Amino acid sequence: MDDINWDDRIIGIKGFRGVGKTTFLLNVVKERYLNDKSCLYVNLNNFYFTKRKIVSFVDEFYKTGGKTLVFDQIHKYPEWASELRTCYDNFPELKIIFSASPVLRVLEGNNELIDIAKIYHLEGLSFREYLNYQSNLNFRRYSLQEILTNHISIAQEIVQEVKPLAYFNDYLKDGFYPYFLDNKGFYSETLLKHINLALEIDVTYLNQIDLQYLPKLRKLLQIIASQVPFSPNVSKLSADVQTSRATIMNYLRYMKNARIINMLFSNGNEDEIKKPDLVYLHNTNLMYAIDEVNINSKTLRKTFFYNQVGYKNRIKSSEKADFKVNDHIHFSVGGKYTLPAENGCFAAADMIEIGKGDVIPLWLFGFLY
């Protein structure tokens, strides 16, 4: 909530299934508009909107004193973009907040909203947020520069209150998505359900892919999960999945947009039609849910680093180490004895509580958001 400019008139919240978009919107209503009847929450899954257009609904709401509409699951409504634009133009005092699938193209190639909508991504829990909940503490987040400069004193302060490594492995397995709060013992099953729904609806339906191709998507994802970090051979993938090279590249982009995978490029330009250097799963929880048999510590550590650092920073592949962050900071990621690749680089080392010099505890990169 603190990152959003609430003065904007059209605000979109995108995020993976089950990440907490509906809960977030309801919390916005509760904390910012409690007992304010000029604000209304509406779930567009409701069958009411099969017979009622958003524009006419908004017109009635606006004339009776309405000021803020919160639309959940905007992608469930056809012609959502043009009608939101009409509302923006016709009702100058109205504010609209909406949630959507991460795949939905709200601004990209959409002339209706490109100059008026502000889009935010609701990410899964950081290690800091998970640790705060499990330990009933309230650690603040740190900027990357703060961690690089003051990681020793920051880690010392945290370790005085809690043992981060006592919670770290549990977070890697089932701490990224908030439904661990309600589904203890069934976390992987719930996550698998959301992965399949993301493939069936977010990736196929919203990208207008026929459902008959769903098995090919699932096979591609399984191949990636079994070999992460995966260096794609597009010709071999094309043969294994039995589809064209161009389709493989499209499928990779669709899954990245759905927050299922991350792609690492040497130049960081993900818009180019070229194959990535490496493919990771989006977070470590997905590794356990899709192919737990092939998990190893090395891949877990790198996936965690990419996921936590990449949310707020640009990540590319590095010619010196494992990752290059914000075009100039090089990181090697590994176990407790990991050292920087060379002078001027950093190491993110697992299984250490407090770092030394340019060696920083891996868990501390979970405090960036």
Helix axes 165-174, 127-135, angle to 10 degrees: 120
Whose CA is closest to 40, among 102, 94, 116, 121?
Answer: 94
pLDDT in tens, 323-353: 999 999 999 999 999 999 999 999 999 999 9
Numbered ranges of CATH 3.40.50.300 in the chain? 10-121
The model's pTM: 0.92
Dihedral angle sign, alpha carbons of residues 301, 288, 233, 275: negative
pLDDT in tens, 13-57: 999 988 999 999 999 999 999 889 999 999 998 999 999 999 999
Higher pLDDT, 243 or 206: 243
pLDDT in tens, 244-275: 999 999 999 999 999 999 999 987 555 555 78
Structure token digits, residue 172: 């890697």
CATH class of 10-121: alpha beta
For position 272, what pLDDT does the model report?
53
Q: What is the band of 108 on the pLDDT scale with cuts at 50, 70, 90?
A: confident
